[in-house]
Amino acid sequence: MSKRIALEGSFAAAEAARMADVDVIAAYPITPQTHIIERLADYVANGELKASYIPVESEHSAMSACYGASAAGARTFTATASQGFFLMHEVLHWVSAMRQPVIMAVCNRAVAPPANIWGDYSDAMTARDTGWIQLFAVNNQEVFDFVLSSFRIGEDPRVLLPVMVHLDGFTLSHVVEPVILPEQEEVNRFLPPYQHPYAIDPDNPMSYSMVMGPGIYAEIKKAQDVTLRESKEIILQAWKEFGDIFGRYYSPIESYKTEGAKTLLMSTGCLSETAKVAIDRKRDKGEDVGLIILHLWRPFPFEELYQAIKDAETLVVFDRCISLGGPGGPIISEVKSALFDKRKDIKFAGLIGGLCGRNLSVEQFEDALDKGREIAEKGSEEVFETIGIRE
Amino acid sequence: MAEKKTKAISELTWRDMRFGNVFTEPGSAVRYKTGDWRSQRPVVDREKCNKCGLCWLYCPDGAITPLDDGYYEPDLYFCKGCGICPQVCPKKAITMIEEEEK
């Protein structure tokens, strides 16, 4: 029998890695990620998890160690946030291009300066083009479920790509919620043993990542891009099977009360649950609004987006990250680009909020929806509007 | 995975690179022709050569081949024409000539 217990998001991520029976963990502590790797260190120390735990001297080393461990055929896990995430940025590219299914939890946190520890997606969004599969969790159950399913997705021989699971710093990582943990036997049914087809082996020497020039680079990158795009089908398959075993079904874009909705709010991560309550209230008042939640950021779910917005006239996109000097928040930029050829009629409004852990209330989401509709109808002088900014 | 045995880089498509940049066969660089980088090639004068082997020792690419008769010959499949061997030859037995010259 599965059991329902109280867990903070960090421990949910750690439990998923433990139940996936990871072989190697290499990590460097950074707020708000520390609880994940401390919990795993406990499990390794007390023998509950038979894994090598490599306490490295930096995040660059953490991801490098993960790269090597994964290349040797080990199931590999790490976690980081913000500044540490930036320090490992170079290696993120090595891991994805060299097709190593390293799984990483990222406790999203704002970028310094000003020095801070609180949550937003300005770390995650810098990794948009690193070639990783990227998932955003809305609650702690999704943290567990996404980390666990990441191993299955990333290690699939048709995929062999690393996966990041983004969870909001503090609002998920440090908040206790009920989480249903499955039986180990169920996990074993869902997650087959990992076998890398080109694991490095002294008895069977290979060369990894040779110098390659202009004559072949574009071909290698196209192959990588096609593989990442095609991974969406395997993600859908894995989540279907996940649902059949564990009873919870996931999709790249979750639709909430979208039936007949002319105005849709699009959101990501934990604030989507606050937005749900705002939608409930507006629905109770008879307003034709709904919510779509982006779970899968890379590969971008184009088809699912077209389907999710097909009856909508107005799309209000909520970004929890500012794209300095850019065409709006990172998500609305992509959504507009994705819909440019398909839905020239749809009206957009870009809203940014919740930066660096600033609270957003249900009422603010209700107001934001009204404001979004107004912007969409009348236009705005601003590229985007920031919810609750002091002018 | 590149089909190394039959295809040159210029013949590989992205479909050949579905597993990125891993070479499963060690030592396959011996098939990589670097001789076409050359603009000048070394020519050995056997009348002057005393078989000391310094050219073989100094060649940065291992492109000087010791022969059974004790002499040394540049392997033009690999020789990039760097010009080190004539510099180190104590007998001035090696000269670089333009590739255009036959």
Tens digit of pLDDT for each residue in A177-225?
999 999 999 999 999 999 988 899 999 888 888 888 899 999 999 999 9
State pLDDT tens for residues A32-85: 999 999 999 999 999 999 999 999 999 999 999 999 999 999 999 999 999 999
The reply to whether A197 touches chain B by the CB within 8 Å rule is: yes
Distances in Å between the Cα of A20 and the Cα atoms of A16, A154, A189, A346 are: 6, 13, 11, 43
In three-state secondary structure terms, B6 is coil
A4-18, A129-143, B31-45: range with lowest mean pLDDT: B31-45
- Kindly report whether the peptide bond that precedes residue A114 is cis, defined as omega within 30 degrees of 0: yes
Dihedral angle sign, alpha carbons of residues B77, B78, B80, B85 = negative
Q: Please give the pLDDT value at position B6.
A: 55
Q: At A142, is the secondary structure helix, strand, or coil? A: helix
Whether A132 maps to a domain, the answer reads yes
Considering chain A, what is the average pLDDT of its residues? 96
Cβ contact A205–B18 (<8 Å) = no
With CA atoms as reference, the chain A residue closest to B15 would be A223
Chain A residues in contact with B26 by the CB 8 A cut-off are: 205-207
Evaluate whether residue B101 is within a structural domain.
no
Q: Residue B2 has what pLDDT?
A: 44
Assess whether A262 and A362 both reside in one domain.
Answer: yes
Task: Enter the DSSP assignment of A355.
Answer: G
Domain boundary among A197, A213, A246: A246
Residues B10, B57, single domain; the answer is no
CATH number at residue A321: 3.40.50.920
Lowest mean pLDDT of A134-143, A301-310, B12-21, B73-82, name the range: B12-21
This prediction's pTM: 0.90
Express each pLDDT in A133-184 by its tens digit. Answer: 999 999 999 999 999 999 999 999 999 999 999 999 999 999 999 999 999 9
Is the same domain home to B49 and B7? no
Q: What is the DSSP string of B25-83?
A: STTGGGG---GGG-SEEEEE-TTT-----HHHHH-TTS-EEE-TTS-EEE-TTT-----
Token reading at A169: 């710093």
Contact assessment for residue A299 and residue A269, using Cβ atoms and an 8 Å cutoff: no
- pLDDT interval class at A353 (50, 70, 90): very high
Give B4's pLDDT tier (boundaries 50, 70, 90): very low
Asked, for residue B26, whether it belongs to a domain, the answer is yes
Boundary of a domain, candidates A246, A274, A301 = A246
- Same domain for B38 and B72, yes or no, is yes
SS3 state at B85 = helix
Q: A22-26, A130-134, A206-210, A309-313: lowest mean pLDDT where?
A: A206-210
The domain spanning residue A84 has which CATH number?
3.40.50.970
Give CA–CA dist A269/A329, Å, rounded.
15
Mean pLDDT of A227-250: 98
Indicate whether A265 and A315 sit together in one domain: yes
B24 lies in which domain range?
A: 1-32
Count of other CB atoms within 10 angstroms of residue A60: 17
Can you give the residue range of the structural domain that contains A71? 3-246
Minimum Cα–Cα distance from A203: chain B residue: B26
Other C-beta atoms closer than 10 Å to the C-beta of A203 total 4
Q: How many Cβ pairs within 8 Å bridge chains A and B?
A: 57
Residue A232 burial by Cβ neighbours in a 10 Å radius (0-12, 13-18, 19+)? buried
Q: Compute, in degrees rounded to 10, the torsion defined by CA atoms A337, A341, A344, A346.
A: -50
CB contacts, 8 Å: A220 with chain B: 14, 17, 20-21
Please answer whether residues B73 and B23 qualify as being in contact, where contact means their C-beta atoms are separated by less than 8 angstroms: no
What span, in angstroms and rounded, lies between the C-alpha atoms of B89 and B58? 10
Element (H, E) at A54: strand A52-55
**A200 & A137 share domain:** yes
Q: Residues A230, A264: one domain?
A: no
Residue A334 C-alpha from the chain's centroid: 16
Residue finishing a domain among A246, A270, A302: A246
Helix (H, G, I), strand (E, B) or coil at A389: coil
Q: At A116, list the tokens.
A: 């801070």
Give the C-alpha separation, A283 to A280, whole Å.
5
Query: Residues B48, B89: one domain?
Result: yes
Tokens (6 digits) for A368: 């934001």
Split at pLDDT 50, 70, 90, the class of B102 is: low
- Residue A208 with chain B: CB contacts under 8 Å: 21-22
CB B67 within 8 A of CB B73: yes
User: Which CATH number fits the domain that encloses residue B65?
Assistant: 3.30.70.20
